[in-house]
Amino acid sequence: NAGVTQTPKFQVLKTGQSMTLQCAQDMNHNSMYWYRQDPGMGLRLIYYSASEGTTDKGEVPNGYNVSRLNKREFSLRLESAAPSQTSVYFCAVDRDNNSPLHFGNGTRLTVT
């Protein structure tokens, strides 16, 4: 029972390259989220998915796209990476509105 699994754990990209961050859960929860964490900025919501087949923008969606492939998986794509996207990315899930978030271990992304 892994909970929330993120891959990869670390990634280095050059400016302009693309990549997809993967998130999978075995908790059978409906809602999934992508956050980025930068020093002094806390956790900022990029995109979220309240249920399979739906996605919505969060606080900082520019430069990202998401796909809710099925109930288990929610991926985050950077089409053309920029140094400003250097950050730690966390995927999280919760059962429904107003319930605790369960986080993955994070992906540390560096864009040079």
**Paired tokens of 23:** 């998130």
Q: Give the interface segment with other proteins, choosing from 9-17, 50-58, 63-71, 73-81 (CB under 8 A).
A: 50-58
DSSP string over 76-107: EEESS--GGG-EEEEEEEESSTTS--EE---E
CB of 44 to other proteins, least distance (A): 7
**Paired tokens of 49:** 């998915």
Task: Establish if 89 lies at the interface with other proteins (CB under 8 A).
Answer: no
**With contact defined as beta carbons under 8 Å apart, do 104 and 91 qualify?**
yes
Pairing of strands 10-13, 4-7: unpaired
**With contact defined as beta carbons under 8 Å apart, do 75 and 49 qualify?**
no
CB of 37 to other proteins, least distance (A): 9
CB of 53 to other proteins, least distance (A): 14
From residue 54 to residue 73, the character string flagging contacts with other proteins as x (rule: CB under 8 A) and all else as - is --x-xx--------------
Determine the 3-state secondary structure of 35 from DSSP: strand
For residues 25 and 31, which CB has a smaller minimum distance to other proteins in the complex?
31
CB of 18 to other proteins, least distance (A): 26
Interface with other proteins by CB under 8 A: which residues? 31, 33, 35, 40-45, 48, 50, 56, 58-59, 90, 94, 97-98, 100-101, 103-106
